[in-house]
A = this chain, B = another copy of it.
């Protein structure tokens, strides 16, 4: 089969690779219908998280059709169209049952590692994959694909930020996760959604997804503007979808005491301890337990109630995966869809 491999910074290549096979009886093999490039893939592509001398199979977002299942797989059948989380989980342990499948005690991060390919092996298939109600129309495949990570992550951020009816929400980050955070907040009933963005195309999509206000200023200026819009108090809920010290600080300062910050941008840097302490906000996030939300998100997409696939503003064939990475890195594209 063909699949993407990262050789080093800025060097991703699509090459012939061995077809994946069933290793554990709980595995499934999927024929990938669509994959995509994640913001976190760019970390590796930029050389920031590459800790291997061998080429790395890339991709962890996927939808596809089940080609083969291990002897112990019960919930998923050959021929099912499925969406899976980027973390493989048994969906049975105490942590999974509490809704934190991304921390499953049997978790396998990078579950479907190498999903930027024609075929992919998914461990713990019964706990990780959710079948769609039938074979999907091609038009909703991009939206179903978002559920496997980027939408699931934006949705989790909104849930972690306790977004709900009557709430005013801020969104820090106008990448695909932030934009789908807007969509999630709207769907969860937020009354007002304020996004920080200075890119016209992203602002337009944010408004389409439900943003009511846009702030172009950043840092203290941006916070001052937001305070003006919220009677000096700050918002009830903030979705933080970047993960830098600056963006986390902006999220904390934007939120009123007793409010909630849902953060899903990987926080590589130390957090401002004193600022967080004296802010009095609730702070929750981390790797999204996408599996918790998959049934609900699939249904919303199936019923055409949401159209998160709109974040894909670039579509390339699997062979042109490198162009997807480059376009996202140069911010020419919000998110790139790959067709195997």
Min CB distance A260 to B, Å, is 9
A283 touches B282 (CB 8 A): yes
Q: Which residue of B lies closest to A231 (CB)?
A: B94
A270 contacts B270, CB within 8 Å?
yes
Q: Which of A237-286 contact B (CB under 8 A)?
A: 243, 248, 256-258, 263, 266-274, 276-286
Contact (Cβ within 8 A) B268 A273: yes
A85: Cβ under 8 A from any B Cβ: no
**A72-80, A98-106, A170-178, A205-213 - interface stretch:** A98-106
A248: which B residues are within 8 A, CB to CB?
A: 273
Q: Is A95's beta carbon under 8 Å from chain B? A: yes
Q: Could you tell me if B105 and A258 are in contact, using CB atoms closer than 8 angstroms?
A: no
In Å, the complex CA distance between A271 and B285 comes to 15
Q: Is the pair B256, A267 in contact by a Cβ cutoff of 8 Å?
A: no
Residue of B nearest to A232 (CB): B105
Q: Is the CB of B102 within 8 A of A280?
A: yes
Report, as a range, how many residues of chain A touch the other chain.
35 or more
Other-chain contact of A103, B258, B273, B282 (Cβ < 8 Å): B258
How far apart are the CA atoms of A270 and B270 in the complex, in Å?
Answer: 6
Smallest Cβ-Cβ distance to A94: which chain B residue: B233
- Is A114 positioned at the interface, with any CB of B under 8 Å from its CB? no
Beta-carbon contact of B278 and A287 below 8 Å: yes
Are A280 and B271 CB-contacts (below 8 A) given A95-B233, A95-B257?
no
CA distance A289 to B280 in the complex (A): 9
From A104, which residue of chain B is reached at the shortest CB distance? B257
Pick the residue among B232, B268, B278 that contacts A274 (CB under 8 A). B268
A100 adjacent to B287 (CB under 8 Å): no
Q: Are A280 and B233 in contact (CB under 8 A)?
A: no
Closest chain B residue, CB of each to CB of A285: B277
The answer to whether A256 touches B95, judged by C-beta atoms less than 8 angstroms apart, is: yes
Bound complex: CA of A281 vs CA of B256, how far in Å? 20
Q: Give per-residue flags for A53-95: 1 if the beta carbon is below 8 A from chain B beta carbons, else 0.
A: 0000000000000000000000000000000000000000011
**Chain A 268-321 interface residues, beta-carbon cutoff 8 Å to B:** 268-274, 276-287, 289
Q: Which residue of chain B has its CB nearest to the CB of A93?
A: B233
Q: Are A273 and B271 in contact (CB under 8 A)?
A: yes
Residues of A that sit less than 8 Å from B by CB: 94-95, 98-100, 102-103, 105, 231-233, 243, 248, 256-258, 263, 266-274, 276-287, 289
- Could you jot down 9 A-B contacts, CB within 8 Å? A95-B233, A95-B257, A102-B257, A248-B273, A257-B286, A267-B276, A268-B274, A270-B271, A276-B283
